[in-house]
């Protein structure tokens, strides 16, 4: 389903790069962030490659809604439904992987890492 050959998160969605799966269905994949900023730090990605959340919104609004719905479900399971939902967009704002991903951040934060991520 994913199509960018050189994209890390396409490879993760296809299982070519290992990850700790949290949730999966036909259109989205969720996995633990390798460098958590918070007790709960899960990334939710569309299986199809889009560079950022706005591109998903423009091409397939239902898919963006499904990403948000998936984030809520994960937070309901892992941190009583309370969470931050973060889409870094653009290198200057800290985006390092240019495949849309929602950070689901809940539970006890790591203040230093969280501050660094937003700096």
Tokens 């239902």 appear where?
62
Tell me the window of 47-55, 57-65, 72-80, 93-101 that interacts with ligand 5GP (CB under 6 A): 93-101
Which residue stretches of the chain are H helix?
8-13, 53-59, 61-78, 111-118
Between CA 113 and CA 100 the distance in angstroms is: 21
Residue 91 binding ligand 5GP, by CB under 6 A: no
Site string for ligand 5GP, 32-61 (x = CB under 6 A): xxxx--------------------------
Residue 31 binding ligand 5GP, by CB under 6 A: yes
62, with CB counted inside 10 A (0-12, 13-18, 19+), is exposed
- Specify the DSSP class assigned to residue 93: G
- Which of Zn ion, ligand 5GP, none does 66 bind, CB closer than 5 to 8 A by kind? none
* Contacts to Zn ion by CB under 5 A: 4, 7, 9-10, 49, 99
Query: Which residues make up the interface to ligand 5GP (CB under 6 A)?
Result: 8, 19, 31-35, 88, 94-97
């Amino acid at each position: 389903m994913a199509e960018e050959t050189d994209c890390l998160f396409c490879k993760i969605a296809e299982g070519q790069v290992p990850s700790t799966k949290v949730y999966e269905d036909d259109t989205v994949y969720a996995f633990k962030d390798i460098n958590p900023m918070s007790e709960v730090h899960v990334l939710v990605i569309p299986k199809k490659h889009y560079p950022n959340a706005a591109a998903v919104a423009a091409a397939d609004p239902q898919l963006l809604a499904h990403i948000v719905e998936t984030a809520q479900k994960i937070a309901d399971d892992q941190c009583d439904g309370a969470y931050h939902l973060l889409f870094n967009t653009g290198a200057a704002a800290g985006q390092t992987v240019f495949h849309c991903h929602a950070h689901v951040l809940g539970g006890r934060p790591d203040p230093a890492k969280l501050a660094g991520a937003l700096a």
